[in-house]
Structure 1
């Protein structure tokens, strides 16, 4: 019998694919495999036999595990599947929005935001803040923001956070910094004089609306591809996705300059 191409063995059957993924962390009994895949032995055994025939899986009693070749395959397979999952979920959003400010190395890690939600507020809430994020942020020890515009309610929100002894870092574009100096100078001076608040100015062009991070969650608002405002936002509280957002913030911070006075 002619052997299948390895790519077909792995991806042409959902059962085979998920058996390989389930064995990634160690051998599993047949009973466990059947329960997780919600199938029966006659349906699963032929698929496992194909994996065995291609030296991906071995049998020990009523348990199955990955061979050395199987481990190599699964180690490469998982990141690829995670990337496909992220693109399947978010390709419409990413393709319709401006992603120029996301560096290439973070695009290469796009799989890390596969668990994120795309939030689209209702028409009446188009310009509202993400209330869920800002409510959860009250329990954070630190907050980080990148702003290209300032929501009218943010000065009040900032004042409340300062009363909670939260460390806050805010990166502003040059245009926004100039606007705040001229229109909110008293409030800005007060915030600048607070030990827990650090302001920075980013003089390069930023093609996002905003990035907000608490200790565990983040909200990213991109502009539409034509650079117009978009109410849609990426929202997530998953550790892997949070690391991605923190690295995006650090990317902006690396070229930002601390503001020490007006």
Structure 2
């Protein structure tokens, strides 16, 4: 009697790893043994189960995914990639608001890869993330969507644009009002310099800051109770940066560009 396919795939790490190893094409038995770090005697029964369920096929001493195996693997990979994003940080992701992410990007959240939760002390809580700041100075572009005004923004943005980093920033209308009231001249100079692009978003954002450069993505999210949290997430997967650019474009299409304050 055949096992349910879910059991075939997930009830054994060896079987799951075989499928993962075959994603890029056929592998010989010796390659599988070396990669999984096991013996032929231990691996052969697992291979037979995969063959009996038409997930892999054998040619001489080489194994490959069948058509069914490729379809199943695609779904497995999608699930495992999504789990990787949340694994180890489920408390953070589960307790914070993700409603600001449009459905088409939420479905692709696996592209963020494994992210690091950054925990700060109270004395560090309102400092800008130095890894993001430092890597921005060696980036061509810096993208920010923010619902609050950080007191270091005027200084840091001036330093970035002085190094010819293009700063693209979408601010909530409340932040824009503060810029107009307290920092009009400074931000007008930034805009006039050609390396600072400012947009105003009229609706509720639902997060503190989403920022990324050519190397890192930072997310400072609100809790589900809409409370500020000093912890934040830092992601470095290249696909995460492409994902973040699409998120920025999603908000920019409903934001008004500003050339005069």
Q: TM-score, structure 2 length as denominator? A: 0.95
Provide the rounded CA distance (Å) in 2 between the counterparts of 1:218 and 1:85: 16
Contact conserved, 1:173 with 1:201, CA < 8 A, in 2?
A: yes
Which is worse superposed, 16-25 or 242-251?
Answer: 242-251
CA deviation profile, 1:152-206 (whole Å, cap 9, x unmatched): 1221111111111111111111101001111112212211212121111000111
Is 1:187 aligned to residue 186 of structure 2? yes
Deviation at 1:37, TM superposition (A): 1.0
Aligned to 2:116: 117
Provide the rounded CA distance (Å) in 2 between the counterparts of 1:13 and 1:207: 41
Contact conserved, 2:105 with 2:243, CA < 8 A, in 1?
A: yes
Aligned to 2:8: 9
Q: TM-score, structure 1 length as denominator? A: 0.95
SS for the counterpart of 1:204 is: coil
Deviation at 1:57, TM superposition (A): 1.2
Aligned to 2:138: 139
What stretches of structure 2 of length at least 5 have no aligned partner?
none
Give the aligned length.
Answer: 261
Is 1:172 aligned to residue 171 of structure 2? yes
Provide the rounded CA distance (Å) in 2 between the counterparts of 1:203 and 1:71: 45
Aligned to 2:126: 127
Matched ranges for 1:21-100 at <5 A:
21-100=20-99
SS for the counterpart of 1:84 is: helix
Provide the rounded CA distance (Å) in 1 between the counterparts of 2:51 and 2:99: 46
SS for the counterpart of 1:192 is: helix
Deviation at 1:22, TM superposition (A): 0.6
Provide the rounded CA distance (Å) in 2 between the counterparts of 1:190 and 1:71: 56
Deviation at 1:221, TM superposition (A): 0.8
SS for the counterpart of 1:172 is: strand
What stretches of structure 1 of length at least 5 have no aligned partner?
none
Contact conserved, 1:115 with 1:241, CA < 8 A, in 2?
A: no
SS for the counterpart of 2:54 is: coil
Give the aligned CA root-mean-square deviation in angstroms: 1.4
